Structure 1
Amino acid sequence: MRVTRSKIRWVLSGLGHGLASPRRLKPHLEKIYGEVAYEKSRIPVRDLRQIIGDKAPPIRLENFLPENKNISVEEMVNICLLVAHFQPKAILELGTFNGNSTLQMAANAPADTVIHTADLPDSTSSRLHLSGEKPRRFIGTPYEPRIRQIHDDTLSMDFGVFCAAGKPDFVFIDAGHSYECVKNDTEKTFPILAPGAVVLWHDYAYNCAGVYNYLNELALTRKLFQLAGTSIVFHQAE
């Protein structure tokens, strides 16, 4: 964090308020840590316009009611705009959760696009959705027939299964957030990509150390950009 007089005043003022009201101390310390972490980032920030141009394609949000642990509205809009712009034929999503992002990508992709989405068979969200207590968002929609749900552990599975409809040309990685998981999912994804494929990672943030540290390392060998105003990192294969 670049030290200036105004920055010092901000830090001291926040600490003073935090000591007077302890509940305000943690958020202030997190902001300080966050600024330090982002200044060490190796990934430049890029506005979405620099990728898709000044004229945004039309997009739609289907049954979009965010739940806890869903990505933000702004991030979902960014992803939908990228899908609508690149018009992928084979989408791969790692980390289904409640199927909200799966549904939104399907709604903005061409009508013949096939989506593979993977989730752990024994995760809390999978148990809920498999039991029928809370169906994934895409169940019962017109998009369901072209969505292939796979329950497996990406750490041990063969990613060749994701190529049944052709090599993925759009990938959204939002599964395990440990360094080991993100590294595994990324390194298994690159060999199966179609030429020019887009890869997105979610949760590039100082409070997701596994994602943050791995992507900073990856930035030494791959051209990565963080989408402005989001925790999404963008890469386009050659």
Structure 2
Amino acid sequence: MNTATEQTAIRSIRPKVLFQLIESRFPDQNVGFKVNIPSPDIGGMTLLESSVLVSLARLIDARSLFEFGTFMGATTLLLAENTPPDAQVVTLDLPDLSSSQLESDQSSVLTDGHANDAFLTRRFAAQGARCIRRAQASVQSKVQQVLEDSMKLDVVARGYENQFDFVFVDGGHAFSIVQQDTRNAYRMIKADAVVVWHDYRSTIHNEVTTFLDGHAVGRRIFHVANTMIAFELFGRFESLLDSFL
């Protein structure tokens, strides 16, 4: 299915395209994945989005994964539990913030992207990545948490250049942050990789959509219908979807 609108160069595909690819890659297996009951907290992913994210990781056999935006750690846990035992997930979120930095009006957290991000920041500062803390030791050992502002991330100093085959951009949702995280994601990926964005076509975080619609010109970025997930494939994975387009 190829349904680019006049407003965007991003192509829309049905979720079943990825599921068909999974079946074709693992013809002798019943491919499942482990997922916890979705949290009622703001900022979580749907079950469909979780299945899409895991499918992308499985399709490229991801073993070195990076996540912009830890929050409660639910997606971190999803990736850690559904990748090979030797896989590593590095997840980055803001360092500890002072109470003055955390003050904001909560009245519009479900309608305003900036208020929503401020709420998520406060929640992360207060609770941390509780899903990771509650995970089994074998899963925790696959996860490395980094507390740093992604806008100040030095990819070279951290040793992240060309190190990851899967990068998930789901941190701050302001245009400038998504733009910077995307620039860094491209520097961090290996030749064969996937970059995934969350909150594309979100009714709250419209700056993610604005950025990606502009950024997609001249690129092969796909949106998975009925989700807020967009992704771009690189290297030998670029042709994965060709037979469906």
Superposed, 1:5-20 pairs within 5 Å as none
Quote how far apart the aligned CAs of 1:124 are.
Answer: 1.7
What is the aligned counterpart of 1:217 among 214, 229, 235?
Answer: 214
Superposed, 1:34-183 pairs within 5 Å as 40-51=7-18, 53=21, 55=23, 58-68=31-41, 69-121=43-95, 122=97, 123-130=121-128, 136-139=130-133, 140-141=135-136, 142-160=138-156, 161=158, 163=160, 167-183=163-179
TM-score with structure 1 length normalisation? 0.75
What is the aligned counterpart of 1:196 among 172, 175, 192?
Answer: 192
Quote how far apart the aligned CAs of 1:195 are.
Answer: 1.2
Q: Which segments of 5 or more consecutive residues in structure 2 lack a partner in the other structure?
A: 98-120, 236-245
Quote how far apart the aligned CAs of 1:86 are.
Answer: 1.8
Using the TM superposition, name which of 53-62 and 153-162 deviates more: 53-62
Quote how far apart the aligned CAs of 1:146 are.
Answer: 1.5
Pair 54,104 (structure 1): closer, same or farther in 2 beyond 3 Å: closer
Quote how far apart the aligned CAs of 1:81 are.
Answer: 1.7
Pair 114,162 (structure 1): closer, same or farther in 2 beyond 3 Å: farther
Higher radius of gyration, 1 or 2: 1
Q: Determine if contact 1:198/1:237 at 8 Å carries over to the other structure.
A: yes
Using the TM superposition, name which of 141-150 and 80-89 deviates more: 80-89
Residue correspondences, number:
196
Q: Distance in 1 between matches of 2:213 and 2:159?
A: 26
Quote how far apart the aligned CAs of 1:232 are.
Answer: 0.6
TM-score with structure 2 length normalisation? 0.73
Q: Distance in 1 between matches of 2:201 and 2:23?
A: 29
- Which residue is 2:182 aligned to? 186
- Which residue is 1:4 aligned to? none
RMSD (Å) for aligned C-alpha atoms: 2.1
Quote how far apart the aligned CAs of 1:223 are.
Answer: 1.0
Using the TM superposition, name which of 141-150 and 201-210 deviates more: 201-210
| Greater RCO structure (CA 8 Å; 6+ sep) | 2
Q: Distance in 2 between matches of 1:74 and 1:103?
A: 16
SS in 2 for 1:53: helix
